[in-house]
Every structure is written in structure tokens, then in C-alpha cells.
């Protein structure tokens, strides 16, 4: 019993020492980030701003463990819906912002900003393939990039094939354009339902999903 405790303490101590030894690497990376930011700012101030925003998003992703794959997977595997509810909140916040920009353009008679894409068979096929792939890989685009930064080797392999799949998709895009995309309708809910119903209806749906996610996590399992 004593030997096992000593062994456990030795392993824990080794991990603590390893984390302390990573301080130098962290400072070196921070210095590199600052130097690169200054260099980008000397070229164009917008490049430095994008660099800072990108770094900030990366830190937020890493600290929050935000991942769309986990938000869909965890309710089924572990029963946790914290990430699912976070995604719903993020969509609700984005809805307010996008609706503001789009309604302003609509009232001023300008083209509606945003990518309003056709919805058809290609959407279903793409969603199924991406859903299967991200569950097998263990990460979506944001989760993969975040874990690559943390040094996960498996996600590095995933990133390589993520790029390969994107290239193959770009190669076959012309075929899909003729087969499904061009013949499918571009659905913009305010045009179909009207602005009030589209806006508040989406919030009602998000609220219902949030309530369902909360109930799912805290339900009494017999």
C-alpha cells in the first residue's frame, strides 16, 4: 500500500514539474505573438487587429472547451448539455446581430447582407458526412484547431484530412452546383414568414431547445 502511494506521489510530482518547465515555452510563444503582432501592425493595422482577435478567439475556445461536436455528442454519451446550451446562447446572440444588420439593409432598400444559400439534397448529404466525420475525429473545425494548439496528435492528423476533404469538396463543387445547388431554393425566413415571425419564432425555437436541454441534463434517471 505504501509503495503504491509513493509511486502515485512520484507520478503527480513529475507532472507538476513538467507543467512548471513549460513556463519558458509559454513566455517564448507570448513573445513571438507580440513580435508578430507588431510586424503585422507595421504592414497594416487591420492585420494586427485580426491577429489579436484570432488569438483572443483561440484563448476563449481553449478555456471554455467550446466545441460543436461535444455539444451534440455529450447529451447522448454523458447526459451533459452545458455545451449544447452554450451553442444555443451563441446562436441567439448572433441572431440579434445578424437580424439588426439585415433589417437595417431591408429598410433602406439595400441588398440583404449575408450568405443566403440554397437548401437541398447537397445540404443533407454534406451535413451527414460532416456529422459522421466530426464524431469519429472527435472534433469540429473549432475544436480541432483548439486541440491542435494543445498538442493532440490525433487532431493533427484530423486537420490534415480536414484540408484534404476541403480540397476534394472544392474539386467536386461544380458537379454539385449542376446536380443540386442551382435547382434548390434559397430560403430566407423573413421572406417566407415575415420579419416579426421569423425573428421571434427563431427565439421561441431556441428557447424551447434550451429548456429541453436543461430538462435532459437534470431529469431524474430511474
pLDDT score of 137: 80
> How far apart, in Å, are the Cα atoms of 100 and each of 37, 107, 118?
32, 11, 22
Give yes or no for residue 45 having a pLDDT over 70: yes
Whether this prediction's pTM lies above 0.75 is answered by no
pLDDT, tens digit (0-9, with 9 covering 90-100), for 136-188: 887 778 888 888 888 888 888 888 988 898 899 899 989 998 888 888 888 88
pLDDT score of 7: 55
Amino acid at each position: 500500500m505504501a509503495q503504491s502511494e509513493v509511486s502515485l506521489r512520484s507520478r503527480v510530482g513529475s507532472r507538476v514539474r513538467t507543467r512548471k518547465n513549460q513556463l519558458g515555452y509559454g513566455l517564448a510563444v507570448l513573445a513571438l505573438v507580440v513580435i508578430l503582432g507588431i510586424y503585422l501592425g507595421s504592414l497594416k493595422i487591420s492585420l494586427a487587429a485580426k491577429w489579436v482577435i484570432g488569438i483572443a478567439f483561440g484563448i476563449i475556445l481553449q478555456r471554455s472547451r467550446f466545441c460543436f461536436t461535444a455539444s451534440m455528442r455529450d447529451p447522448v454519451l454523458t447526459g451533459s448539455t452545458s455545451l449544447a446550451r452554450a451553442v444555443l446562447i451563441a446562436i441567439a446572440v448572433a441572431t440579434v446581430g445578424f437580424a439588426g444588420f439585415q433589417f437595417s439593409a431591408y429598410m433602406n432598400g439595400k441588398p440583404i447582407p449575408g450568405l443566403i444559400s440554397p437548401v437541398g439534397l447537397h445540404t443533407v448529404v454534406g451535413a451527414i458526412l460532416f456529422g459522421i466525420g466530426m464524431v469519429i475525429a472527435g472534433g469540429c473545425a473549432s475544436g480541432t484547431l483548439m486541440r491542435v494548439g494543445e498538442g493532440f496528435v490525433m487532431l493533427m492528423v484530423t486537420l490534415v484530412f480536414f484540408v484534404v476533404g476541403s480540397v476534394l469538396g472544392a474539386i467536386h463543387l461544380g458537379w454539385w452546383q449542376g446536380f443540386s445547388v442551382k435547382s434548390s431554393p434559397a430560403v430566407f425566413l423573413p421572406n417566407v414568414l415575415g420579419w416579426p415571425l421569423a425573428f421571434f419564432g427563431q427565439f421561441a425555437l431556441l428557447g424551447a431547445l434550451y429548456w429541453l436541454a436543461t430538462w435532459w441534463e437534470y431529469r431524474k434517471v430511474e
